[in-house]
Amino acid sequence: MQIERKDLDNLTAQLNIKINEKDYAEKVEKKLKEYRKQIEMPGFRKGKVPLGLIKKKFERALIIEEVSNQVQDALNNYIDENKIKILGYPIPSEKQAETDWMKGSDFEINYDLGLAPEIDIDLSKLEGITQYKITADKKIIDEEIARIKEQYGTFEPLEEVKENSQLIGTFTNEAENIKSEALVRMVDLTPNVQKDLLGKKKGDTVELQSSDLFKDPHKLMIALNIDYDKVHDLDIPVNFEIKGIFELKPAEINKELLDNIYGEDKIEDEEGLRKYIKENFEKELENISDKRLFNDVTDKLIETVEIDLPKDFLIRWMTFDNEKLTLEEAEQEYEKYLKGIKYQLLENAIATKYDIKITYDEVLSLTKSMLMQQMAQYGQDISDEKKIEETAKELLKKEKEFNYFSDLILKDKLIQLYKKEIPVHKKRIGYQKFLDLLDKKNEGMMNKE
């Protein structure tokens, strides 16, 4: 077998692979003999079919299969041995030597390679990046305090429905076979329904329309116990029989409640609770801030780092990678695809320059940690560390799962690198203002598209 490389330009190369009969003949002969032992034909016992008949029936298919396998192995080995950085994978050249696959014994095949460009990135020179310190403002702390008061509050029965009442009742519609017990909060209902229910008493039945019942369709789905696909188009009358009317009396924030929730003497009063909420919430917000930093750096790199790519090769490669894609469709999709491949090249260049490595032990440790978190959420036993490790190792045998956890670790290492190497502008910002900032950015991106 011979392989010759021809550079078509700075970004594409062609590999010419020549295979003659001696490269594959021995393996094909061996497979034919194996076939002979297994195959039965009319007039011949198993294993006694003449080799000539076996060859006539199977030899050409086996030659094509063996040549294809050897070509793929040769391509991969040549690329690895010569340390060629490529985009995607090799694809057959448009122009091929004349090869008779059905009769020939020597074969010649050309493959095109898209060459990955050399990229040099100096993160210390990247400008215009802001690292946000997101603070928990008074509004969000007040909302959390209100949630705690409500969660640990008590229900007191009422004689009639008021604006902030909570109702227990039954929704029915015989035609749709609906009979569902539900807890309903007045604040979740539409203004029209609130008006219909105000002043009603236990035992009263009110006819309502499903399309104008809850502000949120998902709450209608839960209340009527119907499927997600059905709820959005549902417009039927339903009867609601009131079986109980209650008013939630919020809990008082005192030492007894705080000891019960957080442990004895951990938090003394509401002021201490506000401090605790602020600190914990801001720790969670660090992850949101880090994600924004990562995305901003990615966008800035894609925008500012010039990367030359073999457009014609990549468009052809897209049609090989997705057989349903025509050449014309690939040309239309190319710009969207471009951002992803640029990011991958930039990520690889950064990882190489700054010596970012990921070990199997790191991947295993993260996998075990996330498994334990998931198990704890569902109340499962997490004391058997050996069993959890075995489960994690089994999961990581799947390439897709291994890549998923590896990518999480790589992303975290990149974030820490960006914080260290990039001269970021640090800015404190309230949570709501940060959300507004995200909305503006997303709106800008949509307008660009």
DSSP 331-392: HHHHHHHHHHHHHHHHHHHHHHHTT----HHHHHHHHHHHHHHHHHHTT-----HHHHHHHH
Residue 385: closest CA among 397, 368, 373, 399: 368
In this structure, which long-range contacts are made by residues 317-325, counting pairs with CB atoms below 8 Å and at least 24 apart in sequence?
317/87, 317/88, 317/89, 317/91, 317/114, 320/91, 321/88
Tell me, what's the pLDDT at 52?
A: 86
Tell me, what's the pLDDT at 218?
A: 84
Tell me, what's the pLDDT at 443?
A: 55
| 135-260-287 Cα angle (round to 5) | 25
**Does 201 share its domain with 85?**
no
Q: Is residue 413 situated within a structural domain?
A: yes
Q: Is residue 329 situated within a structural domain?
A: yes
* Rg of the chain on CA atoms, in Å: 34
**Does 169 share its domain with 315?**
no
**Does 292 share its domain with 358?**
yes
Q: Is residue 146 situated within a structural domain?
A: no
Q: Which two tokens stand for residue 374?
A: 């998931």
Q: Is residue 402 situated within a structural domain?
A: yes
**Does 333 share its domain with 235?**
no
**Does 18 share its domain with 63?**
yes
CA atoms within 13 A on the CB side of 172: 9
What CATH number is given to the structural domain containing 374?
1.10.3120
**Distance between CA atoms of residues 77 and 83, nearest Å:** 10
Full pLDDT tens readout for the chain, 449 residues:
899 999 999 999 999 999 998 998 999 989 988 888 888 788 887 888 888 888 888 888 899 899 999 999 999 999 999 999 999 999 999 988 777 777 778 889 999 999 999 999 999 999 999 999 999 988 889 999 999 998 899 989 999 999 989 999 999 999 989 999 999 999 999 999 999 999 999 999 999 999 999 998 888 999 999 887 787 778 999 999 999 999 989 999 999 999 999 888 899 999 999 999 999 999 989 999 999 999 999 999 999 999 999 999 999 999 999 989 999 999 999 988 888 899 999 999 999 999 999 999 999 999 999 999 888 877 788 888 899 999 999 999 999 999 999 999 999 999 999 999 999 999 999 888 888 888 776 655 444 54
Q: What domain range includes position 361?
A: 123-136+277-448
**Does 128 share its domain with 182?**
no
**Does 238 share its domain with 373?**
no
Number of domains in the chain: 3
Can you name the residues that pair with 394 across neighbouring β-strands?
Answer: none
**Distance between CA atoms of residues 406 and 368, nearest Å:** 13
**Does 218 share its domain with 288?**
no
- The DSSP code for 69 is H
Judge whether 183 and 168 are in contact, CB under 8 Å: yes
Q: Is residue 167 situated within a structural domain?
A: yes
Tell me, what's the pLDDT at 103?
A: 78
Please give the sequence-ordered ranges of beta strands (E in DSSP) within 234-280, or none if there are none.
237-249
**Does 99 share its domain with 130?**
no
Tell me, what's the pLDDT at 446?
A: 44
Q: Is residue 147 situated within a structural domain?
A: no
- Helix/strand/coil percentages in the chain, nearest 5: 55, 20, 25
Tell me, what's the pLDDT at 442?
A: 61
Residue 135: closest CA among 441, 431, 440, 437: 431
Helices H / strands E in the chain, number of each: 14, 11
- pTM, rounded to two decimals: 0.68
**Distance between CA atoms of residues 154 and 97, nearest Å:** 84
Tell me, what's the pLDDT at 403?
A: 94
Residue 307: closest CA among 125, 114, 130, 445: 114
Q: Name every residue whose Cβ is closer than 8 Å to that of residue 438 and which is 6 or more positions away in sequence.
A: 292
Q: Is residue 257 situated within a structural domain?
A: no
Domain's final residue, options 60, 85, 115: 115
Give the three-class secondary structure for 257. helix
Between the alpha carbon of residue 121 and those of residues 266, 275, 419, 421, the distances in Å are 49, 42, 16, 11
